Chains A and B, each alone.
Chain A
Amino acid sequence: MLTFLLRRLGVMVLTMLCLTIVVFFLVNLEPNLRKLSISQTNMRATDAQIESWLVRNGYRDNFFERYGAWLGVYPKQPNIDAATGEASPRFRFCDEPSEARFSGVLQGDFGCSTKFKTTVGEKLFPALVATGWLMFYVMLVMVPGALIVGVLAGMREGSRMDRSLSVASIASTATPEYVSGIIFTVVFASWLGWLNGSAATATRSGISFYNFTLPVMTMAIYGMGYIARMTRASMAEVMTAQYIRTARLKGLSFNAVVIKHALRNALIAPFTVIMLQFPWLLTGVVIVESMFRYQGFGYTLVQAASNNDIDLLLACSLVSVIVVLVTQLLSDVGYALLNPRIRVS
């Protein structure tokens, strides 16, 4: 078990390194650097001005030196004034030092957001907390809902309830967030007026039923169908097992068999699916947060990507990759713990 975990951790670190290099390469493509420079100087900057801004702020240094500096294995260089040779901090708004020193992700310094004019940490962590609340409520709605639907559909395979619930689940997997969000907003916010079509007030003055129901519902619906389908398949399989027949034959009622004998075994497979839903939810978070104007991780990612805010975007990708890899690991380990027939090797 320990060697398994250690090997998995090794692969995870390697994956993170590879992915951040790819992201680093893509954000440093010439058109992206020009975009960044134009947004940081002014719209009518000449080519020479753009170039001098890029040189001054170190964007023309060696690729690997800069990646190393971001990572924290190579000293981060301050700006050197070409005329006087005087060193000054790169970005004043981040209290960066005016001398070279090791200050990267490994040291806990995620860099400086050029878009929000603050350190990445200061921008990213509140956003992650906000998204954490959204995820929490989504899970709170989605997981029990999906499990109930799946169990109800799977306990009598082929019944009318099974067929109608299955079609409903299929329909929910065909409804991405930007479709259901729009339909819900039109029905519940514009037409009925029950709920708020924007979660902007949730960022300012706290989460309430009025402003948070629509984003949560929108996100929960898309993932729900998939989990429900998996639960149904697993439940239907368990219901055909020998020990269920034995339990029925010894005279237990159908409900008792379902609750006491079938449910526990039927919920093992959906556990993996639920864990693997997290990476999927990341895309959903981005869509829902931009649609309902909720300032969380997804909103930050969109802002970082559309302004080519290099350090913020790298931090965002690091966070998303960690989420994906950790949920994969948890689902593997958890599956092995839940199902004694599986051995980790």
Chain B
Amino acid sequence: MESLSTFEIIFQIVWRFWPVWLSLVVAGGLSYVYRSRLGLYGHLFDTSVGVAGVLFVGFWVFTAIFAGIIAPFDPIGVVPIMKNAAPGAVDAGSGEAFLLGGDKLARDVFSRMVFGSRIVLVIAPAATAFALMVGITLGLPAGYYGGKIDSTLSFLANLVLAFPVILLFYLLVTPGIIETPIPYSMAGLFFVFPIIFFVTLFYTRYQPRPMVMWTGIILSVVVGVWVWVSLVSNEIVVAALYRVGLSPLGWFFDLPVFKVISIEPGQLNIFVAVVFASSPGVFRIVRGLVMDIKTRDYVAAAQTRGESPWYIMLWEVLPNSRGPLIVDACLRIGYTTILLGTLGYFGLGMPPESPDWGTAIKDGSQLLRLTPWPAIVPAIALMSFVLGLNLLADALREESLKD
């Protein structure tokens, strides 16, 4: 079998990523030129840690976007002759090389790593966004009102936090659970929070302008319900609804409008489990921030003006706690990526042929002694992405402390 030299491998990998380099140069250059007008993001370019963070994260974001152009092979396509091929082995059929070798099922490790970034970069930020929504919507009243609300919500949050993450995942992400209503109703519960959040947001601010208010409220409810129904409306749910005699609901869930975006039941399950595991952390941070900020003078001023409590929470307290929240969100995306990797490593939730990094690490680690590359490549990918996010969080923390 023909094979490339080390130098050729490195050259070809660098060359393969050309759309990423181009976008990094364009996006990075533009941000650098206009950095003084970009607020907190612009300040990142003042420190080397910040620049490194932006580069690492930007690299993976653009890799996920251009995965189809970068990867020479199908991530789940099998080229039988290339089983456990060494890095640089050339596939005679297509003339392309397996740049980082082949795995035990004769798939291209490089292409899998590139496509794996897509799964990770969609689920991790989305799950973090939901965890933030849940944590903020519950943390604001807990910190602001204190008392009974606070003790009840804190007890619930501590309850979830006392659950070891790995046990929670084993219980919530078992294959059987997608036949039960648990993941779908939990997903529904999590979708309620963004809807409540946005409805309250519009309601408290735009009461003098009913047009804007009602547009906002209706839009958030419609979009929220549409996304939730789209995510949960798979064959299992529709069949179950017909079986228990809720056929109108089953018919509604089966409408083509809800097929525009869809998600595998296993992935929905992962999503739900990750949001569940990470919202109490956000809750605790928000609660602490609110308790600190509600003693400030501008909150007292708003109270004297006669503003409603929810207006103060959403339009006075929340904007002023954005610094720590942005830092936490960055760290949390990284942590969620690690959690996704853990799930993949234990073979939970993801389909077995999925190219996501955790699953790839699990598959590769079985033959580590003979062929290390199928495990090492996704491991380094995951590490570099999380490292970028952590560097970003560190730089943002330094910057927001300066203000």
Stretch at the interface among B73-81, B99-107, B371-379: B371-379
Max count, chain B CB within 10 A of own CB: residue among A279, A282, A286, A316 = A286
The answer to whether A282 and B368 have CB atoms under 8 Å apart is no
Measured between alpha carbons, how far is A23 from B170 in the docked complex, in Å? 11
The answer to whether A324 and B162 have CB atoms under 8 Å apart is yes
**Chain A neighbourhood of B158, CB < 8 A:** 15
Nearest-CB residue, chain A, relative to B373: A186
Nearest-CB residue, chain A, relative to B391: A170
Nearest-CB residue, chain A, relative to B358: A178
Stretch at the interface among B3-11, B175-183, B217-225: B175-183
What would 18 more interface pairs be, CB under 8 Å, given A19-B159, A174-B334?
Answer: A11-B155, A14-B155, A19-B163, A27-B171, A29-B177, A30-B179, A30-B180, A31-B177, A32-B176, A170-B391, A174-B389, A178-B379, A179-B382, A182-B372, A190-B368, A190-B369, A283-B165, A291-B365
Q: Determine whether B26 belongs to the interface, using a CB cutoff of 8 Å to chain A.
A: no
Q: Which one of A173, A182, A283, A306 lies within 8 Å of B365 (CB-CB)?
A: A182
The answer to whether B164 and A186 have CB atoms under 8 Å apart is no
Count contacts on A: residues with CB < 8 A to the other chain.
50
The answer to whether B166 and A186 have CB atoms under 8 Å apart is no
The answer to whether B166 and A282 have CB atoms under 8 Å apart is yes
Chain B interface size, under 10 / 10 to 19 / 20 to 34 / 35 or more: 35 or more
**Chain B neighbourhood of A256, CB < 8 A:** none
**Chain B neighbourhood of A156, CB < 8 A:** none
Q: Determine whether A301 belongs to the interface, using a CB cutoff of 8 Å to chain B.
A: yes
For window 281-330 of chain B, which residues contact chain A by CB distance below 8 Å? none
**Chain B neighbourhood of A186, CB < 8 A:** 368, 372, 375-376
Q: Which one of B161, B164, B368 lies within 8 Å of A320 (CB-CB)?
A: B164
Stretch at the interface among B62-70, B83-91, B251-259, B337-345: B337-345
Q: Is the interface of B mostly helix, strand, loop or mixed?
A: helix
Q: Determine whether B172 belongs to the interface, using a CB cutoff of 8 Å to chain A.
A: yes
**Chain B neighbourhood of A35, CB < 8 A:** 176
Measured between alpha carbons, how far is A108 from B4 in the docked complex, in Å? 64
The answer to whether B386 and A174 have CB atoms under 8 Å apart is yes
Measured between alpha carbons, how far is A183 from B375 in the docked complex, in Å? 9
Q: Determine whether B361 belongs to the interface, using a CB cutoff of 8 Å to chain A.
A: yes
A283 to chain B, nearest CB (A): 5
Nearest-CB residue, chain A, relative to B176: A31
Q: Determine whether A305 belongs to the interface, using a CB cutoff of 8 Å to chain B.
A: yes
Measured between alpha carbons, how far is A185 from B367 in the docked complex, in Å? 11
Max count, chain A CB within 10 A of own CB: residue among B155, B167, B342, B387 = B167
Nearest-CB residue, chain B, relative to A176: B338
**Chain B neighbourhood of A165, CB < 8 A:** none
Q: Which one of A14, A29, A183, A301 lies within 8 Å of B167 (CB-CB)?
A: A301
A-B contact pairs, 26 of them (CB 8 A): A11-B155, A15-B159, A19-B162, A23-B167, A23-B171, A29-B180, A31-B174, A31-B177, A166-B394, A167-B49, A170-B394, A176-B382, A178-B341, A182-B364, A182-B379, A190-B372, A283-B164, A283-B165, A283-B342, A290-B346, A301-B167, A302-B170, A316-B167, A317-B164, A321-B162, A325-B162
**Chain A neighbourhood of B389, CB < 8 A:** 174
Q: Determine whether A287 belongs to the interface, using a CB cutoff of 8 Å to chain B.
A: yes
The answer to whether A171 and B387 have CB atoms under 8 Å apart is yes
Q: How many A-B residue pairs have CB under 8 A?
A: 131
For window 30-59 of chain A, which residues contact chain B by CB distance below 8 Å? 30-32, 34-35
9 closest A-B pairs by CB: A31-B176, A305-B170, A174-B387, A174-B386, A320-B164, A179-B379, A26-B171, A186-B372, A282-B164
The answer to whether A179 and B383 have CB atoms under 8 Å apart is yes
Q: Which one of A178, A190, A282, A305 lies within 8 Å of B361 (CB-CB)?
A: A178
Measured between alpha carbons, how far is A301 from B170 in the docked complex, in Å? 9
The answer to whether A183 and B174 have CB atoms under 8 Å apart is no
B88 to chain A, nearest CB (A): 18
Measured between alpha carbons, how far is A283 from B341 in the docked complex, in Å? 12
Q: Determine whether A18 belongs to the interface, using a CB cutoff of 8 Å to chain B.
A: yes
The answer to whether A32 and B155 have CB atoms under 8 Å apart is no
Q: Determine whether A104 belongs to the interface, using a CB cutoff of 8 Å to chain B.
A: no
**Chain B neighbourhood of A11, CB < 8 A:** 155
Q: Determine whether A197 belongs to the interface, using a CB cutoff of 8 Å to chain B.
A: yes
**Chain B neighbourhood of A31, CB < 8 A:** 174-177, 179-180
